[in-house]
Amino acid sequence: MSDSLLAAAAPTAAPGRISSWSLLLGNRLAAIGFCLLVVLALTALLAPLLPLPDPNATAPAERLQPVLSEGHLLGTDQLGRDMLSRLVWGSRVSMAVGFAATIVAALIGSVIGLVAGYAGGRTDNLVMRGVDMLMAFPYILLALAIVAVLGPGLMNALYAIAVVNIPFFARNVRGVTLALARAEFVDAARLSGKGHLSILATEVLPNVLPVIVITMSTTAGWMILETAGLSFLGLGAQPPQADLGSMLGEGRAQLFTAPHVSIVPGVMIFLIVISLNLLGDGVRDVLDPRLRSGALMRPGPRTEVARNRNRPENRAPDAILNVEGLETGFSHNGQYAPAVKDVSLHLRAGECLGLIGESGSGKSVTALSVMGLVNSPPGLIRNGAIYLNGEDVLAMPEAKLISCRGSRVAYIFQDPLTTLHPMHPIGRQIEEAIAAHQRLDRKHLRERSIALLERVGIPEAAERARHYPHQLSGGQRQRVGIAMALANDPDVIVADEPTTALDVTVQAQILDLLRELQEERGVALLFITHDFGVVSEICDRVAVMKDGRVVETGETKELLSNPQHDYTKRLIACVPEIGQGREFLSRVAPLFRPESRS
Ligand SMILES: Nc1ncnc2c1ncn2[C@@H]1O[C@H](COP(=O)(O)OP(=O)(O)OP(=O)(O)O)[C@@H](O)[C@H]1O
């Protein structure tokens, strides 16, 4: 278990607000980049105050002194000038030009990208073709051409480098803006009457900002290199003024006799660029709340399990799946908060257990914990045991757990459009699900996938197998999801609100299909829902969850006719009956006011 998760397993702390600053410095690499950059930038800024010799004062008698020679810490160059002094003054020039060019390119490029991506259509086409034309030239050739027109000199090098980098910003920002311009929260802002400028500034820009910052951080280093390149070619800093590129250029002739003359500015360029890149990554993480919470990090293959978890041994002997004392939570910045606590459930072969509760009560976290599918980070199973046919899933080796997914426990999710791959035909996706666990040749895979599609009620299955998810209706897609879950004859199917996104008639058909399949194959079904109507249709038993705990369990009929817990009573009261109308609303609304909640 990683350090952070060991920390997470420590006593629970209330999640507090952590400043962006401490988050940035908490990222070790970003902190190193930041400290390095501060030291380099301060040294460059304070160059006039430092006790350094004149960087341009030549001393032919002292030419090419080695590093650590008397009076010259970094030696001297071919004209006897002090390398340390030239390095500090040269870094000052290179950084100033690199940063200034970055800001100019970022400002102009981002505005172009924002306008093109937001406006779309013709404007986008026109603007982006212009940008493409700029990008079509090799950048160094373009920079050389600009300097050739404007004449050599540092300012002209700055303009040239800013211009050649504008397309990178424009392209990156335009790509993100294009997707954002069609996002629902932007539509909502439009509907609320906001103008284009205000939408761009308040809705789009904050989401694009991390992209701008990360592009700035990577291109700033790049631009310092490009400035150095132009100066190296004699088109940037003009003698006797030093910048890192011109120092490199001057050192070229002494590469073998006095390598320090080129190595010293080379190392400095490396340090500046690496510190910028490290800091840029850290800043991006702090700016994006999803990265900050770990939500965009690549999760591990299974949910982390605390080593010192309580592992209850008691379990229902005839159950195929036992969840005992499960506690799963999430840790952010070392602070752990449980999402489900002390959850115990059991499920027998051929039985359907409903898991019901309001949104956020912990149903999905419980269901995903069964196969270690809660993303870690930030997820952590801190306590409990999950027995599948008597074997503790949480103690299984990783390879075994992965092989159980789909073959012994399969999942059906709410929205098959997000779980089916949009680029592959559905038949192929079912074949892949089978091939993950069974060695079959192509012909048999195809036959089996068509048989499964037929079994779940897809008409003309052989033809439909070639269709893509977007060519099917919502109900048909869910049938494909069910076919995939059945692909390897699992013992348990976890269905996480499989009918919520469907209309009532399709919902009824899917429930019938699940019931039929369950009876036919003897599979155990853990059915997650908000809806007692659905529970009464399909579930043999039901567990009611509230605030991460199971508050009541029982046979469906018994629980519906004689609920014990207040919360269950309120949930049942919410099931409307035809013809109740206003009377129903006036009866139910007060039950869910804060003062009546327990
Ligand atoms: N990645 C996460 N980081 C932090 N908290 C999370 C994360 N995922 C879920 N939670 C929290 O866990 C709790 C339980 O969430 P869960 O998704 O299990 O609810 P649910 O009962 O399935 O709700 P719904 O019916 O809306 O799907 C919620 O409070 C949620 O905020």
CA of 100 relative to ligand 1 center, distance in Å? 45
Please give the Cα distance from 281 to 239 (Å, whole number).
Answer: 36
Please give the Cα distance from 322 to 346 (Å, whole number).
Answer: 4
CA of 344 relative to ligand 1 center, distance in Å? 18
C-alpha dist (Å) from residue 455 to 163, 430, 461, 485 = 61, 13, 9, 12
Q: Which fold has domain 304-408+490-596?
A: Rossmann fold (3.40.50)
Q: pLDDT at residue 14 above 70?
A: no
Q: pLDDT at residue 372 above 80?
A: yes
pLDDT band (50, 70, 90) for residue 408 = very high
pLDDT band (50, 70, 90) for residue 580 = low
Q: Looking at ligand 1, which atom is closest to the CA of residue 367?
A: 18
Query: Which pair of structure tokens corresponds to residue 507?
Result: 């919902």
Report the pLDDT value the prediction gives residue 413, as an integer from 0 to 100: 85
pLDDT band (50, 70, 90) for residue 9 = very low
Amino acid at 409: V
Cβ of 330 less than 6 Å from ligand 1: yes
Q: What share of the chain is helix, strand, coil (3-state, %, to 5)?
A: 55, 15, 30
pLDDT digits (tens, 9 = 90+) for 432-453: 999 999 988 999 999 999 999 9
Residue of the CA atom closest to atom 10 of ligand 1: 339
Nearest of 175, 276, 260 to residue 225 by alpha carbon: 276
CA of 565 relative to ligand 1 center, distance in Å? 22
Please give the Cα distance from 326 to 527 (Å, whole number).
Answer: 18
Please give the Cα distance from 424 to 446 (Å, whole number).
Answer: 14
pLDDT, average across residues 524-545: 90
Report the pLDDT value the prediction gives residue 368, as an integer from 0 to 100: 92
pLDDT digits (tens, 9 = 90+) for 85-98: 999 999 999 999 99
Residue of the CA atom closest to atom 14 of ligand 1: 362
The mean of the pLDDT values for the chain is 86
Q: pLDDT at residue 1 above 90?
A: no
Amino acid at 79: L
Lowest-confidence segment of 84-93, 306-315, 490-499, 522-531 by average pLDDT: 306-315
333: left (phi over 0), alpha (psi -120 to 50) or beta: left
pLDDT digits (tens, 9 = 90+) for 233-271: 888 888 888 888 889 888 888 888 899 999 999 999 999
Report the pLDDT value the prediction gives residue 12, as an integer from 0 to 100: 37
Using the CB atoms, write b or e for 535-568: b if 16+ within 10 Å: bbbbbbbbbbbbebbbbbbbebeebbeebeeebb
CB half-sphere exposure, 401, CA atoms < 13 A: 19
Report the pLDDT value the prediction gives residue 585, as an integer from 0 to 100: 55
Instruction: Report yes or no: 412 and 487 within 8 Å, Cβ to Cβ.
Output: no
Cβ of 294 less than 6 Å from ligand 1: no
CA of 456 relative to ligand 1 center, distance in Å? 30
Lowest-confidence segment of 353-357, 359-363, 547-551, 594-598 by average pLDDT: 594-598
Q: Looking at ligand 1, which atom is closest to the CA of residue 294?
A: 1
Please give the Cα distance from 287 to 362 (Å, whole number).
Answer: 29
Cβ of 363 less than 6 Å from ligand 1: yes
Please give the Cα distance from 471 to 578 (Å, whole number).
Answer: 34
Can you spell out the DSSP letters for 47-73?
A: GGGS----TT---GGGTTPPTTBTTBT
Of 361, 376, 497, best ligand 1 pocket probe by most atoms within 8 Å of the beta carbon: 361
- Is 32 strand, coil or helix? helix
Report the pLDDT value the prediction gives residue 320, as an integer from 0 to 100: 93
Residue of the CA atom closest to atom 29 of ligand 1: 360
- N-term to C-term CA, the chain: 37
> Does the structure's ipTM exceed the value 0.85?
yes
Query: Which pair of structure tokens corresponds to residue 20?
Result: 């962006």
Q: pLDDT at residue 298 above 80?
A: no
Can you spell out the DSSP letters for 122-145?
A: HHHHHHHHHHHHHHHS-HHHHHHH
CA of 516 relative to ligand 1 center, distance in Å? 31
- Is 234 strand, coil or helix? coil
pLDDT, average across residues 534-556: 92
Cβ of 364 less than 6 Å from ligand 1: yes
> Which H helix or E strand runs over 582?
helix 581-588
Please give the Cα distance from 12 to 338 (Å, whole number).
Answer: 8
Residue of the CA atom closest to atom 28 of ligand 1: 360
Could you tell me which residues come within 8 angstroms of residue 206 by beta carbon, excluding any fewer than 6 positions away? none
Domain residue ranges of the chain, discontinuous segments joined by +:
26-45+69-292, 304-408+490-596, 409-489
Report the pLDDT value the prediction gives residue 367, as an integer from 0 to 100: 93
- Is 391 strand, coil or helix? strand
Residue of the CA atom closest to atom 17 of ligand 1: 364
Cα Rg of the chain, angstroms: 32
Nearest of 215, 283, 214 to residue 21 by alpha carbon: 283
User: Strand 379-388 relative to strand 321-332: parallel, antiparallel, unpaired?
Assistant: antiparallel
Q: CATH assignment of 26-45+69-292?
A: 1.10.3720.10
Instruction: Report yes or no: 535 and 542 within 8 Å, Cβ to Cβ.
Output: yes
